[in-house]
């Protein structure tokens, strides 16, 4: 999903540029899969711009285990947004790639973004929002991504969702993956299996991924959330992300930065 705001002729041209850039983009990424499914260690030569963006976003988290695929949705959103905004005549624009969002704002503009648990719209039902926040043009945030075991991708952690705000979609996507992985605890209520037994061509190999989380006692929830919040604060301290919201079984942690205020729903 994408949207551009500006003069009619400008938005029409923007949509045409975005379509032209998307044509062939996925095939371009498929050609780089042998590199993108491996543990990221260094910048790779001869990659396309989207694949290189994925690698760069994930290198910030090395040597911890992460492959460039952790940033694929955000990197694609960034690339399409660049095409949208190439003309320099849009007021606002966004590209929402399955919940990983890249957006453009000129001075004085803002976006209001709703916060929902990962996977909340499954089975044709849309859950109530967990909260909302305003992103203003003066803030350094231009990317938002959400990760968690309930989402489309496999997770090493037990977070219902972790939403990260960062300078780009790719950076937010990689960081959301890592913070969601950090929301974790060893507990009989957590069911796990090797990723390779769940998905044949996964980039996670035999790493244990979360299949389900039964109700946890409050102390266990807090312990898992505290671990994730510590990881998020570390990334804020390194200026990798601007903030994060972590959700697990009705409890949350908000790690703020960059003047971001989360309007929480009860």
Tokens of 121: 């719209």
Q: What percent of the chain has pLDDT over 70?
A: 91
Predicted local confidence at residue 125, as pLDDT: 47
End-to-end CA distance of the chain: 29
Strand order in the sheet with 251-255: 2-6, 90-97, 100-105, 143-147, 161-166, 243-248, 251-255
Q: What is the mean pLDDT of residues 26-33?
A: 92
Indicate whether 121 pLDDT > 90.
no
For residues 50 and 124, what is the distance between their CA atoms, to the nearest angstrom? 31
- Give the contacts of 190 (CB within 8 A, at least 6 positions apart): 158, 210, 212, 213, 214
Confidence band, pLDDT 50/70/90 cuts, at residue 128: low
Domain count, the chain: 1
48-52, 64-68, 128-132: the lowest-pLDDT one: 128-132
* Mean pLDDT across 222-228: 98
Of 23-32, 77-86, 128-137, 146-155, the one with minimum mean pLDDT is: 128-137
pLDDT of residue 122: 43
Residue 169 has pLDDT above 90, yes or no: yes
Extract the tokens encoding 84.
């949208």
Distance CA 159, CA 98 (A): 18
Residue 72 DSSP one-character state: H
Q: What is the CATH number of the domain that holds 18?
A: 3.10.520.10
DSSP 3-state of 111: strand
Buried-state track 208-223, b at ≥16 Cβ within 10 A, e below 16: ebbeebeebeeebbbe
The arithmetic mean of pLDDT across residues 204-232, rounded, is 97
Q: How many residues does the chain have?
A: 266
Owning domain of residue 52: 2-264
> What's the token pair of residue 141?
């945030």
d(CA 61, CA 3): 31
CA atoms within 13 A on the CB side of 150: 19
47 is written with which tokens? 């990659």
Question: Nearest 5°: phi and psi at 242?
Answer: -100, -20
Give the contacts of 229 (CB within 8 A, at least 6 positions apart).
Answer: 244, 246, 253, 255
What's the pLDDT at 50? Answer: 96
Q: Tokens 């996507």 label which residue?
A: 173
CA-to-CA distance for 47 and 105, rounded, in angstroms?
Answer: 29
pLDDT at 46 over 90: no
pLDDT in tens, 102-120: 999 999 999 998 887 655 4
The whole-number pLDDT of residue 152 equals 82
Give dist(CA 173, CA 30) in Å, integer: 19
The pairing of strands 131-136 and 90-97 is: unpaired
């Amino acid at each position: 999903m994408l949207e551009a705001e500006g003069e009619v002729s400008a938005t029409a041209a923007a949509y045409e540029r975005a379509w032209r850039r998307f044509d062939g983009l996925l095939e371009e990424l498929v050609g780089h899969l042998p590199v993108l499914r491996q543990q990221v260690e260094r910048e790779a030569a001869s990659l396309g711009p989207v694949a290189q963006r994925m690698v760069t976003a994930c290198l910030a988290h090395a040597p911890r285990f992460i492959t460039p695929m952790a940033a694929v949705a955000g990197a694609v959103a960034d690339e399409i947004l660049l095409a949208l905004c190439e003309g320099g005549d849009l007021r606002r624009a966004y590209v929402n790639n399955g919940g990983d969002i890249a957006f453009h704002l000129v001075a004085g503009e803002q976006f209001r973004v709703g916060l929902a648990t990962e996977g909340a719209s499954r089975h044709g039902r849309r859950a109530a929002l967990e909260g909302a926040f305003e992103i203003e043009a003066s803030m350094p945030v231009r990317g938002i991504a959400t990760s968690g075991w309930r989402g489309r991708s496999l997770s090493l952690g037990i977070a219902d969702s972790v939403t990260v705000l960062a300078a780009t979609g790719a950076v937010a996507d990689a960081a959301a993956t890592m913070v969601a992985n950090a929301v974790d605890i060893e507990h009989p209520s957590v069911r796990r299996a090797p990723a390779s037994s769940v998905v044949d061509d996964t980039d996670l190999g035999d790493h244990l991924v979360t299949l389900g989380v039964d109700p946890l006692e409050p102390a266990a929830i807090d312990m898992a959330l505290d671990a994730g919040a510590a990881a998020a604060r570390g990334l804020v301290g390194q200026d990798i992300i601007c903030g994060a919201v972590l959700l697990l079984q009705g409890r949350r942690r908000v790690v703020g930065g960059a003047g971001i205020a989360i309007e929480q729903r009860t």
